[in-house]
Amino acid sequence: MPEVPTGARHVLILGGTTEARRLAAELAADTGLRVTSSLAGRVAAPRLPAGQVRIGGFGGAEGLADWLRAHRVDAVVDATHPFAGTMSFHAARATAQAQVPLLALRRPGWAAGPGDRWWYADSLDEAAGLLPALGERIFLTTGRMGLAAFAHLVEPWFLVRSVDPPQPPHPPRMEVLLDRGPFTLEGESALLRRHRVEVLVTKDSGGQATAAKLTAARAAGLPVVVVRRPPTPEGVPVAEDPAGAADWVRTTLG
């Protein structure tokens, strides 16, 4: 990593996503910037980005605002997962309090194409409510943190894929597959056949790393339940890729 001179502008990246790591790598190569990436700490062995790294929460919006002031942060990029809604709203409140500019880095969501059989839900609870009418063998790819929404479904069988082992509450009939993307179309198609999957459930995370499952489900004619993203806080500008976010940082900091 290049040596950072005294007086470099301090950029805080909130994230742990692929886009956050790419942005950190680009900004950390700029000798006029000091980059700190903040990871939530929910994954046991996260992929660490370039620059400085902190792990753990801030203590809500007020705690984050205090941290921004104490560490003299000049700009914040919210590059958290599209479903990390609470953190995004904390970031909006904190940066407003500390008077620090904020950008949201959000990869575009997925869009249904010809042959897709998608059902949309606004929450995991709503997604769970759709399943009894769609099938009995469910491939659940919504992460380990939201399994409680499906715990009351005692009849279906679930294949749950996550990076780390899930904790209760969770569905009683469940097999866990510990894995991390990116995934291939061949691998996803074989997985659906091997486990005789009848329904896929996913969040609209966007990106290519986990999109192969959607193509595999389309080819197999399977229904897909897609949980919509929470909204980005009102008034926060959005970049769709790391290059756009890097341009915003440099323009904002002059």
Residue 96 maps to which CATH number? 3.40.50.720
Are residue 214 and residue 170 in the same domain, yes or no? yes
pLDDT-derived band at 1 (thresholds 50, 70, 90) equals very low
Q: Which amino acid is at 122?
A: D
Task: Assess if residue 2 is contained within a domain.
Answer: no
91 belongs to a structural domain: yes
Domain count, the chain: 2
Which candidate, 81, 69, 63, places its Cα nearest to that of 21?
Answer: 81
CA 248/CA 254 separation, integer angstroms: 10
Q: Is 147 within the bounds of a domain?
A: yes
Which of 83-87, 160-164, 187-191 is most confident?
A: 187-191
Asked whether the beta carbons of 143 and 203 are under 8 A apart, the reply is yes
Residues 170 and 239 in one domain: no
Banded pLDDT at 210 (limits 50, 70, 90): confident
pLDDT of residue 164 exceeding 50, the answer is yes
Question: Do 15 and 39 meet the contact criterion of CB atoms below 8 Å apart?
Answer: yes
In a domain, 1, yes or no: no
Residue 164 makes CB contacts below 8 A (sequence gap 6+) with: 42, 43, 44, 144, 178
Cα separation of 53 and 12, whole Å? Answer: 10
User: pLDDT class for 6, splitting at 50, 70, 90?
Assistant: low
pLDDT at 7 over 80: no
Question: Residue 56 CB: number of other CB atoms within 10 A?
Answer: 9
- Shared domain for 148 and 215, answered yes or no, is yes
Q: Clarify whether residues 15 and 99 are in a common domain.
A: yes
74 and 24 in a common domain: yes
pTM of the model: 0.85
